[in-house]
Amino acid sequence: LSRLRRTEPSVRSFIHVADSDAVREAEELDRRIASEGKDALGPLAGVLVGVKDNLCTANMPSTGGSRILEGYRPAYDATAVRRLREAGAIVVGKTNLDEFGMGSTTEGSAFQVTTNPWDESRVPGGSSGGSASAVSARQCVVSLGSDTGGSVRQPASFCGVVGLKPTYGRVSRFGLMAYASSLDVVGCFGSSVFDTATILSVVAGHDKMDSTSSSQNVPDYASELVPLDSLESKPLNGLRIGIIQETLGEGVDSGVASSIKAATSHLEQLGSVVSLPSFSLGLPAYYILASSEASSNLSRYDGIRYGRQVSADDLSELYGESRANGLGHEVKMRILMGTYALSAGYYDAYYKRAQQVRTLVQESFEDALKRFDILVSPAAPSAAYKIGEKINDPLAMYAGDIMTVNVNLAGLPALVVPCGFVEGGPAGLPVGLQMIGSPFSEEIAVCV
Ligand code: GLN
Query: Does 127 qualify as catalytic in the annotation?
Result: yes
Ligand 1 neighbourhood includes 147 CB (under 6 angstroms): yes
Q: Which helix (H) or strand (E) holds 322?
A: helix 315-326
The pLDDT score that the predictor gives to residue 301 is: 95
What is the overall mean pLDDT for the chain? Answer: 94
Domain 2-237+378-447 class?
alpha beta
Decide which of 232 and 300 is more confident: 300
Q: Measure Cα distances from 208 to 79, 100, 161, 205, 391 in Å.
A: 10, 24, 32, 10, 40
Distance 312 CA to ligand 1 centre (A): 33
Contacts of 139 by beta carbon, 8 Å cutoff, 6+ apart? 3, 4, 7, 8, 11, 13, 14, 50, 92, 133
Predicted confidence (pLDDT) per residue in 293-307, tens digit? 999 999 999 988 888
Please state, in angstroms and rounded to a whole number, the distance separating the CA atoms of residues 212 and 166. 14
Mean pLDDT of 62-69: 97
Answer yes or no: is pLDDT of 265 > 70.
yes
Kindly state the percentage of the chain with pLDDT values over 70. 95
Q: Which one from 62, 66, 109, 127 is the annotated catalytic residue?
A: 127
Q: Which residues pair with 94 in a beta bridge?
A: 16, 51
* ipTM of the complex in this document: 0.98
* Burial class of 254 by CB neighbour count within 10 A (0 to 12, 13 to 18, 19+): exposed
3-state secondary structure 85-135: HHCCCEEEEEECCCHHHCCCCCCCCCCCCCCECCECCECCCCCCHHHHHHH
Answer yes or no: is pLDDT of 448 > 60.
no
Please state, in angstroms and rounded to a whole number, the distance separating the CA atoms of residues 273 and 267. 11
Closest CA relative to residue 182, chosen from 45, 256, 289: 289
Q: Which helix (H) or strand (E) holds 21?
A: helix 19-36
The pLDDT score that the predictor gives to residue 432 is: 98
Query: Does 211 qualify as catalytic in the annotation?
Result: no
pLDDT band at 308 (very low <50, low <70, confident <90, very high): confident
Q: Measure Cα distances from 354 to 179, 342, 409 in Å.
A: 17, 11, 10
The pLDDT score that the predictor gives to residue 229 is: 67
User: What number does the ligand 1 atom closest to the CA of 146 have?
Assistant: 9
Mean pLDDT of 312-337: 96
Predicted confidence (pLDDT) per residue in 406-419, tens digit? 999 999 999 999 99
Cis bond leading into 127, ω under 30°? yes
Q: Which one from 13, 109, 131, 151 is the annotated catalytic residue?
A: 151
Mean pLDDT of 220-240: 72
Decide which of 269 and 169 is more confident: 169
Predicted confidence (pLDDT) per residue in 6-31, tens digit? 999 999 999 999 999 999 999 999 99
pTM score: 0.97
Please state, in angstroms and rounded to a whole number, the distance separating the CA atoms of residues 216 and 112. 39
Helical residues (DSSP H) of 162-269, grouped into ranges: 193-203, 228-231, 254-264
Answer yes or no: is pLDDT of 446 > 90.
no
